[in-house]
Amino acid sequence: MIALLALAIGAPQTNFLKVDVRTRQVIAQNWPDAETPVPVGSLVKPFVALAYAGDWPEFFCTGKRCWLARGHGRLQFRQALAQSCNEYFLNLARGVNADTLAVVARKFGIPPPGNDSPEARIGLGTAWKVSPLALARAYAELAERASEPRVAEILAALRLAAQSGTAHAIGAGKMAKTGTAECVAAKKDAGDGFAMVLTPAEAPRIVLLVRVHGATGAEAAKLAGQLLK
């Protein structure tokens, strides 16, 4: 663990932030600009889901507008969030009221998207920027609201993501969400990979957010999993 932490701290392409769920205080970090808003990719999907009115529907992912070219097929909400299906969430985002999304964002301490499009609402492009610290605290707020039925379903999906979804490198007993966003570094990479982890799954005490430049969210999840072992 000490060697891996030293590796993460010493790697200029890697940032991490560890927050206490109850106090929202930073426990450890290697993220000098953690309060600067950046694109965070699919890490915003739980919040657009909360802004959707009514029961979450079932959709069919063809792959035409998803990161998985062959498509995910027919998905219900829990599987769609665990697999971070873009096509599912684009369909969901079209049914979200902009004012409701702004209210949800404020409730969790993050700004709403910078423009009102389905793509922006699910973290595609650079229109929805959130500071890493605010986002980690927003996930801590999710954990604290576990008794709310819709939040409980989101947390169940995050648990599934850590077991067998895009964050499967994290492993069982945790909750996680991955995201891949456009790179904001001075030297541009293909993208930045993010992994958000809540641990332990039963009663989260810690939020860990990891970003790796020039990587995917799945690759960031691998590093997060190593740091947690």
pLDDT digits (tens, 9 = 90+) for 83-121: 999 999 999 999 999 999 999 999 999 999 999 899 999
Domain extent at residue 159:
2-228
The length of the chain in residues reads 229
Residue-wise pLDDT tens digits, 178-209:
999 988 765 666 789 999 999 999 999 999 99
CA angle centred on 117, ends 113 and 122, rounded to 5°: 65
d(C-alpha 87, C-alpha 121), whole Å: 12
3-state SS of 36-59 is CCEECHHHHHHHHHHCECCCCCCE
Output the CA–CA distances (angstroms, integers) from residue 102 to 19, 35, 90, in the order listed. 24, 20, 17
- What's the CA gap between 183 and 86, in Å, rounded? 19
Q: What is the mean pLDDT of the chain?
A: 92
Q: State pTM to two decimals.
A: 0.93
Q: Specify which residues 18 forms β-bridges with.
A: 28, 208
Provide the 10 A C-beta neighbour count for residue 98.
13
Q: What is the mean pLDDT of residues 28-32?
A: 93
Percent of the chain with pLDDT over 90: 86
Q: How far apart are the first and last CA of the chain?
A: 7
Count of domains observed in the chain:
1
Q: What is the CATH number of the domain that holds 104?
A: 3.40.710.10
Is 199:143 a contact under the CB 8 Å cutoff? no
Give DSSP secondary structure letters for 64-86. TTSSSTT--EEE-HHHHHHTT-H
* CA–CA distance, 198 with 210 (Å, rounded to integer): 12
